[in-house]
Amino acid sequence: MGLSNLRGVPDWQRRAGPATIIDGKAIAARLRQEVGREVATFTAAGGRPPGLATVLVGDDPASAVYVAAKHRACEEVGIRSFAHRLGADAPSGEVEALIDRLNADPAVSGILCQLPVPPHLDGVALTGRIAAGKDVDGLTVASAGALALGRAGLRPCTPAGVMRLLEEVGVELCGTNALVVGRSNLFGKPMGQLLLAADATVTIAHRRSKDLPLLCRRADVLIVAVGRPGLVQGSWVKPGATVLDVGINRTSDGLCGDVDFAAAAAIAGAITPVPGGVGPLTIAMLMRNTLEAARERQGSERPAVLTAE
């Protein structure tokens, strides 16, 4: 980063490591408190209490753990939650009928269909059935289109969480070189769109990208979401860069990310650990999206105000 680019850049970002470790757990806890206060104000002012409905099909243990964590977060921030669990052999029509009922239920502000669904079901089609205003995961075609076109809408929780982390640590994105490694619909693509909307110069890398180490070395902001432990080596990191590791990998040594944390932390300006980095922001952002959906719905339910000529 040249000297002329350093205006507005915090001190820790100007020098090469050892990196500031970004405490995602603490930032997520603050965000949940913030949402909790806003939920209380919203309902005290007569707003319909926000409600999140989850749809879990089958008995995948990891999915059950994620859904349970989402319900716990709802309880913490004062959002009502409605758990719907269907058998692993539930026919598509049954899941569709449930989503249709939830779309029509005024007590439900947000709907989340936990992925992956069993192989006989089409997760993309089921998610696509969720009404745009209740798509708190931000994954429907309507939400993705709104993001791509820069229109208002609910944004996918993990990329939105990364944006919140970047804001919290004071990273100036305008004009910066940002690299996203991974191009999934769930993370990489919306992440790229959010960075672009914040005026970063964005590159999205994937399996077919040539010379990934070089692309990484050019990145002031390096965001990795691949699902391969230690893919990004310390020597690939630009001195002083901000590194956000989205990967979650279960190994015999426990959870780890996609970045060689120890080596990268010696060079980066700031870095997220795994666990305790990006992960906790996802559920906190889901809470924020559910509140936003409730606010938006309340606004659209209000009768139009007639003004005297």
Task: Return the structure tokens found at 121.
Answer: 């079901």
| Catalytic position from the list 13, 134, 135, 137 | 137
Alpha-carbon span 274 to 297, nearest angstrom: 36
Specify whether 114 is catalytic. yes
Alpha-carbon span 195 to 289, nearest angstrom: 19
Subset of 247-286 contacting ligand NAP (CB under 6 A)? 247-249, 278-279, 282
**Minimum distance between the CB of residue 124 and ligand NAP, rounded to whole angstroms?**
12
Q: Assign 181 to helix, strand or coil.
A: strand
Alpha-carbon span 37 to 41, nearest angstrom: 6
Subset of 93-152 contacting ligand NAP (CB under 6 A)? none
Select 120 or 206, whichever has its Cβ closest to ligand NAP: 206
Give the residues across from 112 on adjacent strands. Answer: 54
Instruction: Show the binding pattern over residues 55-94: x = contacts ligand NAP (CB under 6 A), - = does not.
Output: ----------------------------------------
**Minimum distance between the CB of residue 241 and ligand NAP, rounded to whole angstroms?**
17
- Mind giving me the DSSP string for 233-288? -GGGSPTT-EEEE---EEETTEEE-SB-HHHHHTT-SEE--SSSSSHHHHHHHHHH
Decide: is 246 part of the binding site for ligand NAP (CB under 6 A): yes
Decide: is 188 part of the binding site for ligand NAP (CB under 6 A): yes
Instruction: Show the binding pattern over residues 200-219: x = contacts ligand NAP (CB under 6 A), - = does not.
Output: -----xxxxx--x-------
Q: Which residues of 203-231 are buried (b: 16+ CB within 10 A; e: fewer)?
A: bbbeeeeeebeebbbebbbbbbbbeebbb
Strand ranges (E), the chain: 20-21, 51-57, 80-86, 110-113, 177-181, 201-205, 221-224, 242-245, 249-251, 254-256, 270-271
Specify whether 134 is catalytic. no
Decide: is 225 part of the binding site for ligand NAP (CB under 6 A): yes
| Catalytic position from the list 114, 134, 135, 245 | 114
Decide: is 158 part of the binding site for ligand NAP (CB under 6 A): yes
Instruction: Show the binding pattern over residues 163-182: x = contacts ligand NAP (CB under 6 A), - = does not.
Output: ------------------xx
Give the other-Cβ count within 10 Å of 288's Cβ: 23
Select 110 or 182, whichever has its Cβ closest to ligand NAP: 182
Select 135 or 172, whichever has its Cβ closest to ligand NAP: 135
- The residues carrying an active-site annotation are 70, 114, 137
Binding residues for ligand NAP (CB under 6 A) = 158, 181-184, 186-188, 205-209, 212, 225-228, 231, 246-249, 278-279, 282
